[in-house]
């Protein structure tokens, strides 16, 4: 008789309690391939853990988003949000699809320039722009989105000194009926701060007010809030036209569209509750089209969505280091990736699939990372089939903010691979080495030697 | 190490403890082990039987068997106190 495939023996109590209409077992199908490339071969070639990006999925996402907005509004421009993922290869996929760049720091700004994005197609956001940053942005004719009055005054001085009229927008925050209200960026709509800033800009004549920008939140599950925001932005733009006879060229609605990740504490999975991008598009475009703009003065709609365009294109592959039993009887599995490279696990319950076949039984498990730190918990509780040391797992929806927020802490950061449209993997970032880590360190002469006894 | 005599074991992977009313589900290999324990097999015999039926190395089974029996003991299903 042929031997059977081994699976760790498990026993779990059957609890009676509230009925769960969703059952206890969901989506635990093995994920053995990504875009036709086997997980095992990727790990064998590039090591574990490993970030993998699907070029196909990224292009599908941006094309779908563009189509969704462009079929509802005549003038739409996407700008790739660099902070979401600024690996150059990733940025260039979106630039090839026609996206401009949206940056929030000088370092991101320089990355966009180095990637070949023309200066006038780099939107410079964020509260931290030095005088030098502003000068560079002015020289490159980049639209500068002003965050606070200090910046407005500095920019006005610099523009006077340089004898140019920079293209600017103001960032506007507002009450859209959602909580928390993001009021730390930009000028408030309801209290009149936004109008004060607009009046200062247009009265001075030193800056060219070309746009209005808002970004109402992140992982927004309520599309109607965007409709409120778009209506308020349109109201400002029309007010500017009436008062100053100045046509606002664009309204930047920022980003914040949710991806299909599941927020911690959410009863339902993200894939069940996240609105489709068409719902965001519908309310934004309808609000702008109904606002009362003349056809010739319809502002271009800028969108800086990042998360929704890349989260499902990123995967983190990893391996099981060990299993153990905690003192309260819970099973614990230690993986070779932790919160150092999966920072998003602090607020998401990431979907995690085994990368090999398994039986029908599952066990409630705590997933720990490899760091010798108590905070290193990937999932507090997940129902998984028994995994053995050496088995592999695939973490889903890791495209947004994982690479950019990853920390070099205790472990070196892994390689990043992109699978192209032909199913061929390419390294887009090499695995970090000790040399990389120490290249900026310096050792004072008096500390170079020591003796241990 | 033996399963308590009063524990009811089904062929389809369920255990029932009539003294507490608790029931449990067990995966197929766990069921094989429980059945062997019910037959009063010694640990070495259980190991040999499982290794004979499944693709597994000594060390892996030893670790997993240790963990499995620890859980059985935790659920008070063993008669080895």
Domain spans in chain B, listed from the N-terminal domain onward: 8-74
| Alpha helices, DSSP H, located in A184-276 | 193-204, 224-244, 270-273
Kindly list the residues from chain A whose CB atom is less than 8 angstroms away from the CB atom of residue B72: 11
**CA triplet A46, A50, A51: central angle to 5 degrees?**
125
The CATH topology of domain A33-52+312-433 is Lyase, Ornithine Decarboxylase; Chain A, domain 1 (2.40.37)
Instruction: Give this prediction's pTM.
Output: 0.92
Q: How far apart are CA A256 and CA A231, in angstroms?
A: 17
Q: Which residues of B touch A4 (CB under 8 A)?
A: 28-29, 53-55
Start-end of CATH 3.20.20.10 domains in chain A: 56-310
List the single residue in A6, A8, A361 with the smallest CB-CB distance to B55.
A6
Contact B8, B16 (CB under 8 A): yes
pLDDT tens, per residue, chain A with 453 residues: 688 889 899 998 887 666 555 555 555 689 999 999 999 999 999 999 999 999 999 999 999 999 999 999 999 999 999 999 999 999 999 999 999 999 999 999 999 999 999 999 999 999 999 999 999 999 999 999 999 999 999 999 999 999 999 999 999 999 998 888 888 899 999 999 999 999 999 999 999 999 999 999 888 889 999 999 999 999 999 999 999 999 999 999 999 998 889 998 888 888 888 999 999 999 999 999 999 999 999 999 999 999 999 999 999 999 999 999 998 888 999 999 999 999 999 999 999 999 998 888 888 899 999 999 999 999 999 989 989 899 999 999 999 999 999 999 999 999 999 999 999 999 999 999 999 999 999 999 999 999 998
For chain A, the farthest-separated pair of C-alpha atoms sits apart, in whole angstroms, at 89
Contact (CB, 8 A) for A155 and A146: yes
User: Burial, B64: exposed, middle or buried (Cβ in 10 Å; 0-12, 13-18, 19+)?
Assistant: buried
Q: Is the Cβ–Cβ distance between A315 and A51 less than 8 Å?
A: yes
ipTM of the complex: 0.95
Hey, what CATH topology would domain A56-310 get? TIM Barrel (3.20.20)
Outline where DSSP puts E strands in A76-166: 76-81, 100-103, 122-124, 144-146
* A242 CB-near residues (< 8 Å, 6+ apart): none
CA dist., res. A256 & res. A280, Å (int): 10
- Record: contact B54-A8, CB cut-off 8 A: no
Q: In chain B, which residue's Cα lies nearest the Cα of A4?
A: B54
Q: CA of A25, closest CA in chain B: separation in Å?
A: 14
Classify residue A74 as left (phi > 0), alpha (psi -120 to 50) or beta. alpha
């Amino acid at each position: 008789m042929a031997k059977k495939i081994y699976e760790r023996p498990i026993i779990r109590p059957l609890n009676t309690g509230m009925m769960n209409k969703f059952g206890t077992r969901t989506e635990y199908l093995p994920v053995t391939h990504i875009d036709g490339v086997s997980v095992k071969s990727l790990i064998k070639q590039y090591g574990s853990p490993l970030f993998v990006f699907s070029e196909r999925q990224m292009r599908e996402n941006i094309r779908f988003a563009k189509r969704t907005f462009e079929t509802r509004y005549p003038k739409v421009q996407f700008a790739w949000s660099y902070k979401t993922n600024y690996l150059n290869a990733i940025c260039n996929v979106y630039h090839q699809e026609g996206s401009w760049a949206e940056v929030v720091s000088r370092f991101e700004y320089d990355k966009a320039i180095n990637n070949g994005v023309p200066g006038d197609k780099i939107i410079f956001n964020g509260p931290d722009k030095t005088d030098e940053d502003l000068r560079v942005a002015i020289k490159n004719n980049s639209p500068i989105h002003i965050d606070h009055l200090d910046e407005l005054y500095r920019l006005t001085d610099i523009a006077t000194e340089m004898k140019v009229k920079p293209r600017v927008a103001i960032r506007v925050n507002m009450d859209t009926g959602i909580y928390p209200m993001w009021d730390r960026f930009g000028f408030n709509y309801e209290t009149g701060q936004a109008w004060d800033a607009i009046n200062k800009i247009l009265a001075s004549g030193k800056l060219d007010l070309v746009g209005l920008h808002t970004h109402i939140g992140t992982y927004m599950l309520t599309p109607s809030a965007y409709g409120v925001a778009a209506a308020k932005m349109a109201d400002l733009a029309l007010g500017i036209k009436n008062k100053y006879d100045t046509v606002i060229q664009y309204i930047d609605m920022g980003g914040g569209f949710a991806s299909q990740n599941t927020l911690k504490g959410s009863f339902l999975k993200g894939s069940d509750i996240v609105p489709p991008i068409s719902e965001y598009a519908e309310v934004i475009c309808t609000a702008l089209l109904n606002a009362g703009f003349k056809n010739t003065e319809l502002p271009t709609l800028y969108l800086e969505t990042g998360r929704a365009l890349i989260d499902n294109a990123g995967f983190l592959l990893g391996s099981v280091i060990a299993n153990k039993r905690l003192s309260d009887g819970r099973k614990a599995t230690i993986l070779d990736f932790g919160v150092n490279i999966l920072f998003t696990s602090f607020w998401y319950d990431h979907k995690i699939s085994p990368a090999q076949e398994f039986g029908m039984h599952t066990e409630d498990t705590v997933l720990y990372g490899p760091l010798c730190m108590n905070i290193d918990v990937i999932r507090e509780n997940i129902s998984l089939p028994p995994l053995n040391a050496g088995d592999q797992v695939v973490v889903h929806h890791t495209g947004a903010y994982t690479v950019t927020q990853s920390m070099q802490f205790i472990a070196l950061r892994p390689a990043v691979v992109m699978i192209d449209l032909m199913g061929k993997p390419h390294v887009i970032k090499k695995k970090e080495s000790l040399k990389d880590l120490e290249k900026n360190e310096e050792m004072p002469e008096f500390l170079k030697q020591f003796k241990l006894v | 190490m033996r399963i308590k005599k009063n524990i009811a074991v089904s062929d389809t992977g369920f255990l029932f403890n009539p003294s507490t009313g608790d029931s449990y589900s067990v995966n197929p290999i766990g069921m094989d082990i429980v059945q062997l324990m019910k037959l009063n097999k010694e640990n070495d015999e259980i190991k040999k039987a499982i290794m004979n039926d499944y693709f597994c190395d000594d060390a892996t089974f030893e670790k997993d068997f240790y963990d499995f029996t620890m859980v059985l003991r935790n659920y008070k299903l063993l008669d080895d106190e």
